[in-house]
Amino acid sequence: MGTLRERFRNFMQGRYGVDTLSKVLIGIAFLLAVLSIFFGRIFYLLGICLLVYVYFRMFSTNYEKRYKENRAFINYKNRILALRRRWKNRLRMRKTHHIYTCAKCRQKIRIPKGRGKIMITCPKCKYEFIKRS
Ligand SMILES: [Zn+2]
């Protein structure tokens, strides 16, 4: 028979186990449980459904499919993080720079603020125009 621990190890043999996606889902399930205190049972039920799904993935023997799900999730998460980073950079840039668009070729040109009226030369098509920076 063996100890409980050994039996559990035997049971988990060839099963997928916990990955990043599962951990995030467990976090969301926990959040839903907290929300259910304020917004009612439906959140609690959603959390339970999520946990059932997490267990299904954990005990799954279809390693390849679960692995792909996790990869897809991580790719998606990274895309969102990259978008957020770009958005933050743009916000920070707005304080110190103006972004002008070349009237001729639509090239975006970044000009530092606070230099009065200046002549801008498009780096791409050499078109010149005057703007207040
Ligand atoms: Zn241009």
Residue 59: which pLDDT band, with cuts at 50, 70 and 90? Answer: very high
* Per-chain residues with Cβ under 5 A from ion ligand 1: 102, 104-105, 107, 122, 124-125, 127
Q: Rounded to an integer, what distance in angstroms lies between the CA atom of residue 108 and that of residue 122?
A: 9
Residue 1: which pLDDT band, with cuts at 50, 70 and 90? Answer: low
- pLDDT surpasses 70 at 55: yes
Say how many Å lie between the CA of residue 86 and the centre of ligand 1. 24
Long-range CB pairs of 48-52 (<8 Å, 24+ gap) are 50/25, 50/26, 51/25, 51/26
For position 76, what pLDDT does the model report?
Answer: 97
φ, ψ for residue 48, nearest 5 deg: -65, -45
CB 118 within 8 A of CB 133: yes
Say how many Å lie between the CA of residue 112 and the centre of ligand 1. 18
Q: Rounded to an integer, what distance in angstroms lies between the CA atom of residue 46 and that of residue 24?
A: 15
Average pLDDT over residues 8-35: 94
- Compare 99 and 57 and report the one with higher pLDDT: 57
Sequence-distant (6+) residues with CB within 8 A of 7 are 1
Which two tokens mark 5? Answer: 């621990």
- pLDDT surpasses 90 at 82: yes
- DSSP state letter for 14: T
Q: For tokens 């606070």, what's the residue?
A: 114
Average pLDDT over residues 19-44: 95
Say how many Å lie between the CA of residue 128 and the centre of ligand 1. 8
Q: For tokens 């010149």, what's the residue?
A: 128
Say how many Å lie between the CA of residue 124 and the centre of ligand 1. 5
**How many percent of the chain have pLDDT more than 90?**
83
Average pLDDT over residues 50-75: 97
Round the average pLDDT of the chain to a whole number and report it: 94
- pLDDT surpasses 70 at 47: yes
Say how many Å lie between the CA of residue 133 and the centre of ligand 1. 18
